Amino acid sequence: MEEETGVNIENDGKAGKEEIYTKVVRAGKRTYFFDVKATRSDDYYLTITESKKRAGKEGKVFYEKHKIFLYKEDFEKFAGGLNDVVNFISNGKPVRENVKTIEATDESVKEAGEPADGKFTSIEFEELGKV
């Protein structure tokens, strides 16, 4: 995995979406962007974007992007969960003893509130924060 150093970004002029810091990580066919942004009230949050280059119809190239918004009140739990699953993949067991390994079933998916037909709706998070 190749990493680039972080860069400071100036405000792009969008109120409430000031980019403070960006870290770009190139990993094979994917690029990950870790962007620290500020809300209008100067609270920081993190967006994690996965970008993959794809070939569309007629060979036209486009970038498929998936984005996660992570707020500072969730950092500790997110980092703990990420650490646990990375350790599990690397070593075959979770770091914390109270972490359970589960197998997803149709019932567990239904309990989590996902659609019973297995179809999901695409949501564009770019609209968040616009007034």
Q: Is residue 20 part of a domain?
A: yes
| pLDDT at residue 13, as a whole number | 46
Domain assignment present for 106: yes
103 lies in some domain: yes
Distance CA 93, CA 108 (A): 22
Q: For the chain, how big is the Rg over CA atoms in Å?
A: 18
Is the pLDDT at 22 greater than 80, yes or no? Answer: yes
Averaged pLDDT, 114-130:
51
Q: Give mean pLDDT, residues 97-125.
A: 52
Rounded Cα distance between 90 and 4, Å, is: 24
Residue 122 forms part of a structural domain: no
The pLDDT of residue 95 = 65
**CATH code, domain with 97:** 3.10.450.700
Domain assignment of residue 124, yes or no = no
Within-domain flag for 125: no
Chain segment 41-85, per-residue pLDDT in tens: 889 999 999 999 888 888 888 899 999 999 999 999 999 999 999
| Tokens 């359970």 sit on residue | 100
pTM of the model: 0.57
For residue 92, the model assigns a pLDDT of: 82
Average pLDDT over all residues of the chain: 75
The answer to the question of residue 119 being in a domain is: no
In the predicted structure, residue 6 carries a pLDDT above the cut 90: no
CA dist., res. 127 & res. 103, Å (int): 34
pLDDT of residue 64: 93
pLDDT band at 17 (very low <50, low <70, confident <90, very high): low
Instruction: Count how many domains the chain has.
Output: 1
